[in-house]
Amino acid sequence: MRYLLPILTLALLLASCGSKKRTYSATRSPEVTTDSVIVITDTSPAENNEPDIEEPRGKIEAVIKTALTFAGVRYRYGGTTRKGMDCSGLLYTSFMEHNLPLPRTSKLMAQEGRKIGEGKIRKGDLLFFKTGRRNNKINHVGMVVDVNGKEIKFIHSTTSRGVIVSSLDEGYWNYAFVKATRIF
């Protein structure tokens, strides 16, 4: 009896060692806005002498519409055509269709635009993810196509299902989400 407690404790420790269970939380619930105009003001005139900027809503809608035409296209690493495309190829092609150049890779796309807080995400924003087990770098990108209340839907290309629309509420994507940026 005297040895039973230490043996049980040791057994529990051994059973739990090395078994890191990855959990996906769908508890992230950013507040979102669906307004179509943003005005940027800077209180330090030395850094920003530009007038207030209105967002080109028509361009955003056109890029989203183009991206949605690729729904169902199979995944192809490095692809940018209807024969197959990867996540960054989808956005690269959709933006280029409207003469809006973007870098070709998700890692470089993540350096473009300005970072947006989770509570300010809206249509046309780019969402960046870290999806690799051992990869600690941004390696996936999608574009917000719809915001309905607190649910954020984005289009992207996955290796398993090709070009699809997913929700940021889905556990896997919520867990892998890193940041959002606004190009417009």
Which of 122, 123, 140, 182 is an active site residue?
140
140 catalytic, yes or no? yes
**16 inside domain:** no
* Chain segment 148-171, per-residue pLDDT in tens: 988 999 999 999 999 999 999 999
Which of 92, 156, 163, 181 is an active site residue?
156
* Chain segment 107-158, per-residue pLDDT in tens: 999 999 999 998 899 999 999 999 987 778 999 999 999 999 889 999 999 9
**25 inside domain:** no
Domain count, the chain: 1
Domain span at residue 121?
A: 30-182
167 close to 153: Cβ distance less than 8 angstroms: yes
Whether the predicted pLDDT of 12 surpasses 50: no
CATH number for the domain including 166?
A: 3.90.1720.10
17 catalytic, yes or no? no
98 catalytic, yes or no? no
pTM of the model: 0.71
**38 inside domain:** yes
Q: What is the dihedral of CA 42, 44, 45, 51, to 10 degrees?
A: 0
